[in-house]
Amino acid sequence: MATDTTPEVEFEDALAGLSPLERRLTNIAGLFVGLLSLVMVALPVVQAAARKVADTDIPSASIIVQHLTLWVGFLGALLAAGTGKHLALSTAEAIPEGWPRRVASLLTRMTSSAVSALLAYASWKVVQADAESGRTVVGSLPVSWSEAIMPVAFVLMAARFAWRSGKGEQSWVDRGLAVAAIAGAFALGAMAPSSVVVTVLLVLVGIAFMSGTPVFVVMGAAAMILFWRDGTPIAAVPAETFRLVSSATLPAIPLLTVAGYVLAEGGAAKRLVRAYKGFFGWMPGGVAIMTTVVCAVFTTFTGGSGVTILALGGLLLPMLKEEGYPEGFSLGLVTAAGSLGLLFPPSLPVILYSVVASVPVGKLYLGGMLPGLLMMGMVAGYGVFMGIKHKIPRQQFKPAEALRGLWEAKWDLGLPVMVIATVASGFGTIVEASAMGCAYALVVEMGIFRTIHPVKDLPRVLVTATTLVGSVVILLGVAMGLSSWLVDAEVPTMLLDWTTEHVKSQWVFLLALNVGLLIVGSVLEIYAAIVVIAPLVAPIGVAYGIDPVHLGVIFLANLELGFLFPPMGINLLLASTRFRKPLPYLYARALPFLLILAVGVLLITYLDVMTTGLLSK
C-alpha cells in the first residue's frame, strides 16, 4: 500500500502492475469516465441556475444525471476491477504469505470471474427485455441503451479478473482455471438446483469472502444462487441494480467524491493545517486540538478516514512529535482522528445511508451535528490533558498569522459552507448542491491556486475518484438484488419477529446493536457495511420506537468506532502501513482513543436528545 494517497500516487500505483495494452485500455476508459463526470457536474449547476434566473428547467436534466451515474459507476467499477480497488473484507490481510495467500488470491479471481460473467449474462437478459418493451429514458432514447453499460462492464470485468489471475510461470494455469470457473458456473446454471449443491456453493462463496473476494462479487453470487434455487431468473439481480437510477440523491456520491479528491490533490491539507494551527496552537494541547479538527474537516471533504490518515499522517505526526508529544500518543491521535468528521456535511457515508435506509439526508446531517462535535471534543479534550501532563510548550498567539492562515484556507473551507447553504436556502437539491460544490472545487484548484493542471492532472484525479465511486455504486446495485431476494423470502420480517420476541427492552437492543456494529465496522469497509446491514437494521429500529434519524446516527457513529477496533480495524491497518509500525504496537496506542470514543458512542446511543433535539426546533 502506498504511503501517500494523492490521486497522482494512487493512479501511478494502479497502473504499475498493468501490461501496456491494459494501460491503454485503462486510459481510454478513464478519459471517457472523466468526460461523463464533467457532464454530471455541469448539468445540475445549469439546471439550478436556469430555475432561479429564468424560472425554467432543463427538460429531464435530473433523469439524465441519474443515468449518467449508472454509467460512471459501472465504468468506475471496471477501472476498480483492473486495479484491485474493489471493496473487500479486511481480514484477508491476515492470510499468511506464500502458498496460503496465493491460493486465496486464485480463489478470489476464479470466483470474481465466474460471478461477473453470470452477471453479464443476466444483465443482457434485462437489456433484451427492455428493448422489446420500448421504454425510453428521454425523448426517443431507449432505456436499453442506458442499461447496455451493465453487460458490457460485467463482461470486461470478467475478462480482467480472469486475465489477472496469475503471475509468472503459473499465470496461464491460473487463467485457465478462471476460464474453467466461468464455464462451470454456466454449466451449473443449466442444471436443476439441489439443496446439497446450493449449500456447497454458498459455503464456497463464504470462503471466497474470507479470502478477500470483493464484496459485490460475494453479494451477487449469493443473490444469484438463492434466486436459482427458488426457480427465479437470475436477471432479477441486475434488474434491481438498474433501479439505482430512480434514486434522486445517488448522484451526490460521485459528485462529492470528485470534489474531495480535487481538494486533496490541490493541497487543501497543508492550508487547513496552517489555518487551524494559527487559531489553536496557543492553547494547552493546541497542536493536538488542531490535529483533531483538521482531520475531521479533511475526512468530511473526502468521505473516508483512510484518505485522511495517509494524506495527512506524514504532515501531522512529525509536527506532534516536534512539539514534544510522546510518539505513542501522537500515533494514536492521528489514527483515531482520521475517523472523525463522518457525521458532518457533506460526508458521503451519510448520503449513502440516506439512500439505503430512506432517511432524509438533511435530517441526518442535522441530527449528527451534536454527536459529531461531542466525539471531536472528547478526543481534543484528551489531547489537552496530554499537553498539560507533558508540559508541551504553547506558541504565542499571533492574530496576524492566524488570520493569514485562515485567509489562505478560505476557499477550502468554503466548500461545505456552499453545499449546506445551497440546500438550506432552497436554492438547489442535494444533487445540485453537490454539483456546485464540485464545480467550486475545480475552479478553486485549477483557477485560483492553479495546483491542478486541466490536462496533465485533472484526468487522473477524475479516474481515481470514479474508481472509488464505481466500487460503491456496483456494491449498492448488487445489494439491491440480494435485498430483493431477502424481501421475497420475508427474511427482514422473520428477523424482526425473532428480535422483538427475544429482546424486550429498547436499551438491550441498542446495546446489542452497538456491539454488532462495532464488529461489522472493524471488518467491513464503511460503504459495504452501510449497504449490507442498514436495510436489515432500519425496520427493527422502527419496531422498537427508535427515531430513524437517531438510529442512523447511532449506526454511523458505531462504524466510525469500528475503524479502531482490533484486530482488523481499517484505521489500524492503514496507520500500520503508513507509519511502518507493527499492529500490536498500534493496538496499544489506539486503545485510549477507542475507550474515549466508545463512551461517546454510548452517550449518543442513550441520549437521543443529542440527535433529535435540533430536529424538533
CA neighbor of 354 nearest in space, from 468, 469, 251: 251
- The span from the CA of 521 to the CA of 530, in Å, is 9
Rounded to the nearest 10 degrees, the angle between the axes of helix 20-53 and helix 430-443 is 120
Which pLDDT belongs to residue 600? 94
Write the DSSP string, 215-264: HHHHHHHHHHHHHHHTT--TTHHHHHHGGGGG-SSTTHHHHHHHHHHHHH
Which pLDDT belongs to residue 92? 60
User: Angle 13-18-23 (CA atoms, 0-180°, nearest 5)?
Assistant: 95
Phi-psi category of residue 344: left, alpha or beta, with phi > 0 → left and psi -120 to 50 → alpha: beta
Which pLDDT belongs to residue 2? 35
65-79 burial: b if 16+ Cβ within 10 Å, else e: bbbbbbbbbbbbbbb
Which pLDDT belongs to residue 379? 93
Mean pLDDT, consecutive 10-residue stretches, the chain (617 aa), reads 44 59 74 89 90 79 90 90 73 72 88 96 94 83 91 94 66 88 93 91 91 88 94 90 78 83 79 77 82 83 63 75 87 87 85 88 91 94 90 80 85 82 82 89 91 87 84 82 80 76 85 86 75 85 91 92 78 74 84 93 92 77
Which pLDDT belongs to residue 14? 54
Rounded to the nearest 10 degrees, the angle between the axes of helix 252-265 and helix 61-83 is 60
CA neighbor of 611 nearest in space, from 361, 344, 370: 370
